[in-house]
Chains A and B, each alone.
Chain A
Amino acid sequence: MVEVLRGNLAQLSLLDILRMLSSGRRSGRLDVRQGTKTGEIYLQRGAILHAVAGPQIGESCIYTLMGWLEGEFSFTPDVPAPERSIQAPTEQLLLEAARQAEQWADIKEVLSSTDVVFNISPSGSTSTISLKPIEWQVLAQVNGERSVKEIADLLELQEFDVAKIFYSLTSAGLLYEVEGGKRSFQEIVQESFFEGLTENFNEVMGPIGPVIIEDEIKMMGETRDAFPQSKAAELVERVSLEISDSGKRAEFQKKMLALLRG
């Protein structure tokens, strides 16, 4: 079966994709993947009719999927919805999703990704804090090993709601981010990769090169000291798009390909 639209959620948000499909009055199935988790959203002539992700189904599922800031999506046209689980008008759904997306923007200042691991701050807060039962449940699961996403799964809560709690607990000084966290289980690029990237990029772009590289790393939701190997080529490609001369861009990519292939 052929899919005609595919991409990465880090580059195009689910909200933007749904807006595009809805305004284009598209019909079909939008598959969303984040690691081993998958979700499906069905549209008929631009209207969102059905959504499912694991045990979750319907409108709330849309908001959960909106919280997937990383992952992949693909749209397969003309796949009919197996059932109708969403009655709310699509405009209303997208408005609520947009509101949540704005909140995500604030949350992301503290929480770059739901893969991030937190621990309880030994110094704690300097003022009196009262916690709601749900906040206490989340706090009780923080152990310096579980990611935000894993805690949401464990408590069977929406990632968005859990992320909001992490945002407020971190802002209150109760939690701190564990450096490296999940990344320790992934393959991290060697510093020599960044040296090569910076050297080759600087040759073309001059002193602005390192600034662009740092910006792209940040936009990918990563850090230089824990940058995953699986995203190295993507980073090279992203920075190379800043080179306007196609010949110089190809030359830079050639050098970087040699570096990436070792």
Chain B
Amino acid sequence: MKNGLKEINETVGVWGSLLCDNQGAIIADQTPPALNKATLENISRHVLETFTTVGAELAGMSEVVLHYHQRKLFVMDMQQALLIVVCTPSVDIPLLRMSANVVLANWQTDPKIKKQLEKAFVERL
């Protein structure tokens, strides 16, 4: 799983990436030391809340980009978990999206990762 996140991190402009479960707990992360566990969980909860609120209005939404003054958060909904990528504002979103798609497609065919995700699955609040 970490290798997949590392692959996503190779995209220019990506700071780090993480996977959180449907209640905001971190499943895996590849992030710089500046982003400690408390910060990551904070980000996850915030993203989850936004995703749930917006998702309720826009049915079928599977991706969202959140913009902050100096950072951009790219989020993909995998149903069992959320993939969160922390980027600089200038990141090439189509390139990042493709990179994430490729990794997610690999995960879907990897029995070990599928099992890990199933194990981590919790209902979304």
Chain A residues with CB under 8 Å of chain B are 1-4, 6, 74, 230, 233-234, 236-237, 240, 246-247, 249-250, 253-254, 256-257, 260-261
Contact = CB atoms under 8 A, between A and B. Distances in A.
B35 interface: no
B54 A257 contact: no
A230 B90 CA distance: 11
Interface stretch (B60-68, B77-85, B113-121): B60-68
Contacts of A237: 94, 97-98
Given A2-B67, A257-B98, 5 more contacts: A236-B98, A246-B105, A247-B109, A257-B102, A261-B10
A57 B73 CA distance: 32
B98 A256 contact: yes
Given A4-B54, A6-B67, A233 B92 contact: yes
B94 A74 contact: no
Nearest to B46: A2
A234 B97 CA distance: 10
The range of chain B's interface size is 10 to 19
Nearest to A76: B67
A257 B67 contact: no
A239 to B, nearest CB: 11
A253 B102 contact: yes
B28 interface: no
B105 A247 contact: yes
Contact of A236 (B64, B68, B94): B94
Contacts of B99: 257
A6 B101 CA distance: 20
A116 B97 CA distance: 30
Contacts of B102: 250, 253-254, 257
